[in-house]
Chain A
Amino acid sequence: MSRTSRTGRPGASSASGAGNRTTAGSSSRTVSSSSAGTGSDSGRSSGPGRLLIAVYGVFAVAATARAGFQIATKFSEAPVAYLLSAVAAVVYVAATISLARKGAVWFRAAVATICVELLGVLVVGSLSIFDAKAFPQETVWSLYGRGYGFVPLLLPVLGLWWLYRHRADSRRTGDSA
C-alpha cells in the first residue's frame, strides 16, 4: 500500500526527502489503516524493508555462527575459504545494521556493503565452481548460496532494488544515489 503511493506520486523524484515521506505516509494511511506506515521518519526500515532487514539479520547470525565455528575448529583445513566465511559474516552484519539505521550516511553504507555482498556471492560462487579444491562447499556464498536456497544471491539484488526505491532518503544531506 505505502509502496504504490510512494512511487506513484508524480512529484516523488523532485520532492525533497522529508516532504515526500510525510505525504506518502498520510496518503497510505487513508488507504488502509492496518497496512499504513506508522509514520516512522525513514521508509527504508518500514514495510517490506522490515522483512528485508529480518532476513538479513538471520543471515548475519547464521554466517557469523558458521564462520566462528569453522575458524574455531578447523581453520587450518581451508584458511582462505574460512576467512571468506568471516568476510561474508561481517558483510551481512554491516548490511543488516546499515539497512536498519536512518539517515543518508547509513544509506550509503548500506549501498556499499550490499554491493560488496553481491560481488562476494558472484566471485565466491564462480570460484567455488571453477576452483572447487580451494573452495570446499563451506561458505554461505559457495555455489551462489545453493546451500541456503540461493537466498544469498537473491538478497543483494532485492536489497539494492529496495535502496534504489528509497534513494530519496539519501538526498537529505547531500546528493548521491
Chain B
Amino acid sequence: MTVDGWFYAGLVVGGISTLTCVAVAVLKKAPNDITLLSVAAVELFLIVYLIGSIVRTATGGHIAGEPWEFWGYLATALCLPIAGFYWAILERSFWSNYVLAAVGVTVVVMMARMAQIWYGPATAALAGITGTATGTGQ
C-alpha cells in the first residue's frame, strides 16, 4: 500500500486522539475539553484533507480507484467525529471516552483505505511518489 504525507498526518492526529481518549478513559474521567478537542482536531484534519483532495483533483491529480468510492469514504469519515461526539455527550461517563477513542482509530483505518483507492492497490511506489510530488502541495 502506498502511503503519503496525508496518511501519516492522519495517523498522527488520529493516533494521538485515540491514545489521549483511552488514557483519560483509563483514569475514569468523563469526556472533557482535552478529549473533545482531540476529536475536534481529527475533524479539522479531515476538513483539511477534503480541501486538499479537492485541490489535488482540480490541479490534475488522479484517483486510481473509483472516485466516488474515495469521496464516499471521505464523507463518511467526516461524519465520524460528529457522530462520536453526539453519542459520547449523551452520557457523560468515562465509557464515552472509549467511544471518542474509537473515532481516531477508525479514521486512521479509513485514511489507509482512501490512500489505497487514491494510488491503486498494487501499483505502489512509483505512482505514490509522482502522486505526492504533484498532488499534496503542502
Contacts and interface: CB of A to CB of B under 8 A. Distances in A.
B29 A51 contact: no
Nearest to B25: A51
Contacts, number: 59
Interface residues of B, number: 23
A40 B99 contact: no
A142 to B, nearest CB: 16
Contacts of A46: 91, 93, 95
Name the residue among A34, A37, A65 with the largest chain B CB count within 10 angstroms.
A34
Contacts of B9: none
B8 interface: no
A50 interface: yes
Contacts of B28: 1, 32, 34-35
A103 interface: no
A46 B83 CA distance: 16
Interface residues of A, number: 23
B133 to A, nearest CB: 30
Nearest to B100: A54
A154 to B, nearest CB: 14
A35 B83 contact: no
A119 interface: no
Interface in B61-84: 66, 69, 72-73, 76, 80, 83-84
Nearest to A46: B91
A79 interface: no
Contact of B93 (A47, A55, A61): A47
Given A34-B92, A38-B93, 8 more contacts: A34-B93, A37-B91, A40-B91, A54-B102, A57-B83, A65-B72, A69-B69, A69-B72
Across chains A and B, which 7 residue pairs bring their CB atoms closest together, nearest first?
A54-B99, A51-B98, A47-B95, A34-B30, A35-B94, A35-B28, A38-B91
Interface of B: 28-30, 66, 69, 72-73, 76, 80, 83-84, 87-88, 91-96, 98-99, 102, 106
Interface of A: 1-2, 32, 34-38, 40, 46-48, 50-51, 53-55, 57-58, 61, 65, 69, 73
